[in-house]
Chain A
Amino acid sequence: MAGKIWAVFHKDLLVEMRTKDSLNIMVFFGVVVLVVFNFALAGARESVRAAVPGVLWVSFAFSGTLGLNRMFASEKENGCLQGLLMLPVDRGVVYLGKMLAASLFMLVTEAVLFVLALVFFNLQVWEEIPYLALVFVVGTLGFSAVGTLLSAVAANTRMREVLLPLILFPVILPILVHAVEATGIILNSGDYAALKLPLSVMGAFTVIFGTLSYLLFDFVLED
C-alpha cells in the first residue's frame, strides 16, 4: 500500500516538476496577497509585526486553495481519474498520495512566501525558524487533510474552482486560528511552552480529518 501511495505522490510531483503550473500560480498569488496586505495595513504601520502571522496564513490559505484546485483539475483533463478508478486500488490510497503532494507544494510555497515576508516587513528571525517550520508543517498537513477531500467534492460541481474557497474556509477555521496564534507566539512573545496547545489542536485536527477523509473519499469519487 505504501508503494501505491508513493506512486500517486510521485506522479503528481513529476507532473508538477515538468510544468511547474501549480507552484507558479501559488507563489505568484501569494506574493500578490502579501503586497496587497502591505497597502491594507498602511494605517497600522507600527504594529506590523503583530499582523504578520495573520497576513502569512491568509496568503498561505489562499494560495493553498489555488493549489488544491489544480489537484483535481488535472485529473479531470483526459479522464485520467477514470483510468485510476479502473484499477484495483483503494480510494484512500489515492487520497493519501494527493494529500501529501498538496502538502509538499504548499510547504514549498510557504517557504518562498515566508522569505519574501521577511523582506517586505523587515523582520529578523533566526532561532525561531525550527519552531516556525513545525507550525507550518502541522498547519499545512491539517489544511490539506480536509482540503484534498473538499477539492474532490468541488471538482464534481458545476462551479469547480470557485466553490472550493466557499466550502473550505469555514471548515479550516480551527487550523487558521491556532496557526496564526502559534506563529504569533513564536514571532512576538517567544513563550514556546504556550505552543503546546495550538500544536496539539492542529495535530488532532489533522489526524481526525485525515482519517475521516480517507474513509469518505470513496463516496466522493463515485459516480
Chain B
Amino acid sequence: MIQAQGLAKYYGRITALRDIRLEIPCGQFVALLGRNGAGKTTLLRILAGLTRPSAGTVAIAGLAPQAARGSVGYLAHSTALYMDLTAWENLRFYARLAGLGRAGADLEREIERVGLAGRAHEPVRHFSRGMQQRLAIARAFLHDPGIWLLDEPFTGLDQEGAQFLKGCLAGAHAAGRTILMAVHDIALGYELAQRFIVIEKGTVALDVMKTSMSLEELAGCFQAVAQGR
C-alpha cells in the first residue's frame, strides 16, 4: 500500500516534483509513464527511501520509506553490482547486509532462477549487459519484498532479456506483489500493467486503469499531455 500526499521535491531552483498525490493498493501493477525529466526517477527514489521529499507526506504500508526498507525492492538504472566480485559473492554480500542468512546453495538457486546457471562464480565484469540486469533483478528483490519499484528496467535488454523480465514481473504480480514500474515504451507498459500514471512536469497528469482505456487512446492521451494540452 503506497500513499503520497502533496509530495514535492526541489533541487535548489529546479522543481523535480510538485504536489504528487498517489494511492496504490496492495497487489496492483502500475506503469509510470512520462517524458525524460518528468520526475519519474525522483518519485521512485523518494518511495524507495533514498531521497527525502521537500514537502508532503509519503507512506509505505503506513510507515515512512526509511522505516519500510525491508518491504521495498528497488531496481534503478544502475545495477548496484560490484564488478570485481562474482555473481554469488554479490548476492551473498547483499543477503548478509539484509540479514537474510541465506546459505550458499540457496543463493545458487537464486542465480539459476534468473537464468545465470553455471555463471555463479564468474566476476560480474565479464557479464553482458543483459546478464548484469538479470543479476541486478536477483539482487534487488532478494529479500522478497512486497513492493517492487523499477526504473526503466527494459533499457538495454535484448529480446531474450526482455522476455525474461516480463516473465519475472508477471510472476511477481501473480504472487501478489505491488509493482510500480517506470517505462518508456507505452505499448510495453500497456501489456504488463493494470494502471497507468503519467507524470508530466513533476505532477500527475493522468491516472487511468487499463479497463477504461485502449492502447491507442492511452497513446493519444500521452501525446496530448506531452504537448501540454
Contacts and interface: CB of A to CB of B under 8 A. Distances in A.
Asked if the two chains touch in their complex, CB atoms less than 8 Å apart, one says: yes
A79 B96 contact: no
A4 B94 CA distance: 10
Interface stretch (B22-30, B49-57, B217-225): B49-57
A87 B82 contact: no
B88 to A, nearest CB: 12
A7 B93 contact: yes
B19 interface: no
A223 B51 contact: yes
A82 B84 contact: no
B52 A80 contact: no
Interface residues of B, number: 32
Interface stretch (A14-22, A42-50, A127-135, A147-155): A14-22
Interface stretch (B70-78, B105-113, B171-179, B180-188): B70-78
A78 interface: yes
A89 B100 CA distance: 12
Interface of A is mostly: helix
B72 A15 contact: no
A83 interface: yes
A79 B83 contact: no
Interface in A150-204: none
A80 B97 contact: no
Nearest to B143: A87
Interface in B34-76: 45, 48-52, 69-70, 72-74, 76
A119 interface: no
B152 interface: no
B89 interface: yes
Contacts of B130: none
A41 interface: no
Interface of B: 45, 48-52, 69-70, 72-74, 76-85, 89, 93-94, 96-99, 123, 139-140, 143
12 contacts: A4-B96, A11-B85, A18-B84, A19-B84, A78-B80, A79-B79, A79-B80, A80-B80, A82-B78, A83-B81, A222-B52, A223-B51
Given A79-B80, A82-B76, A85-B50, 12 more contacts: A15-B82, A19-B84, A74-B82, A78-B81, A78-B83, A80-B80, A80-B82, A82-B74, A83-B81, A83-B140, A84-B80, A89-B98
